[in-house]
Amino acid sequence: MISVTGVSHDLGGRAVLHDIELEIPKGKVTALIGPNGAGKSTLLSLIARLARHCAGRIMVDELEVGVCASNTLARRLAILPQSSEIAPRLTIEELVAFGRYPHHLGRPGKHDREKVAEALTLFDLDPLAQRTLDTVSGGQRQRALLAMIFAQDTDYMLLDEPLNNLDIAASRSLMALLQRLAREHGRTVVIVLHDINYACAYADHIVTMKGGRIGPQGDAETLVDGRLMHEIFGTDAVVHRIGGRTFVAV
């Protein structure tokens, strides 16, 4: 379980997170939703120690973020940041292989190579394995980055808007894959999503954020309704429930 207690954060003197209290359940897909500037990405990057939080405490199971060794955390938790400007001349296989670095520190063994092969196959990257990142499409690049995070083989995966650059087919298969990772492999997935419909369809748990504070949370069916859309997003979108599923009309 990831537990965040009393976390506040400033960016350039401006408070972006206020006294956050949050518990993210283990083995589930948790979606973070909210308007632009709500602090979702900031919260995610604090949990992944990309920035040092100003106040409060973040625990990933028994590991305290910022206190435990960075390498230890890298074997427990992985993050895919929003815009990863990553070495364009690497081949996809080389990039995915980097996911194993926290485990082997530069000397990959047989097990590491198997994990890389597994990730390449799972993300359907085998035919692209020897292509360099600057010669593949945005969606393929995104899949390669996800495969790297997957190969890192961590209990927790944090994804910051991974559906950017992906078309509907790729988005659906990625979300289905994340759901499978949670259900079958017991991985915990925390994902920042822009499109609420994807959150409703695939997340087990939805956390809303607004203005640097945590809003209501729950599952799609009980949480998402017209009032929530108005309160959190400030728009009067109509919410439909069809066949036990929730849809926000856009």
Partner 1 sequence: MPRRRLIVLAVLFVASAVAYMTIGARGNWGFVLEFRGAKLAALCLVAVALSTSTVLFQTITQNRILTPSIMGFDELFVLIVAMGVFVFGMTDYLVVTSWVQFVVSLVLMTGASLLLFGTLLLQERPDLMRMILTGLVLTVLFRSLRTLLVRMLDPNEFSVVQVSSYARFHQIETGLLAIAAATIGAALIGAWAMRHRLDVLSLGREAAINLGEDVRRGTLQALFLIGVLVSVATALVGPTAFLGLLVVSIAHAVTPTGRHAVLLVSAALISATTLVGGQALLERVFGLVTPLTVVIDLAGGVLFLVLVMKGLKR
Alpha-carbon gap, residue 199 to 246, rounded angstroms:
10
Q: How far apart are CA 223 and CA 236, in angstroms?
A: 16
Task: Choose between 145 and 214: whose C-beta lies nearer to partner 1.
Answer: 145
Closest contact distance (angstroms) between CB of 96 and partner 1 is 12
What is the smallest separation between the CB atom of 74 and partner 1, expressed in angstroms?
3
Q: What is the C-alpha separation between 133 and 138, in angstroms, rounded?
A: 9
Q: Collapse the DSSP code of 189 into the 3-class scheme (helix H, G, I; strand E, B; otherwise coil) and give the result.
A: strand
* DSSP code for 13: T
Smallest distance, partner 1 to C-beta of residue 219, A: 29
Q: Considering the complex, what minimum distance in angstroms separates the CB of residue 208 from partner 1?
A: 25
- Where do runs of H (alpha helix) occur along 36-109? 40-47, 70-74, 92-98, 101-104
Structure tokens at 182: 């949670």
| Least separation in angstroms between CB 10 and partner 1 | 13
Q: Tell me the closest approach of the beta carbon of residue 15 to partner 1, in angstroms.
A: 17
When the beta carbons of 107 and 240 are compared against partner 1, the nearer one is 107
Bridge partners, residue 20, by sequence = 7
Residues that bind partner 1 (CB under 8 A): 45, 48-50, 69-75, 78-79, 81, 84-87, 89-90, 94, 98-99, 101-102, 105-107, 149, 152
Nearer to partner 1, 36 or 83 (CB): 83
In 3D, which of 227, 193, 188, 226 has the Cα closest to residue 207? 193
| SS3 call for 145 | helix
Indicate the residue among 49 and 210 with the shorter CB distance to partner 1: 49
Query: How are beta strands 55-60 and 77-80 bridged, if at all?
Result: unpaired
Choice between 101 and 247, CB closer to partner 1: 101
Q: State which residue, 103 or 194, has the beta carbon closest to partner 1.
A: 103
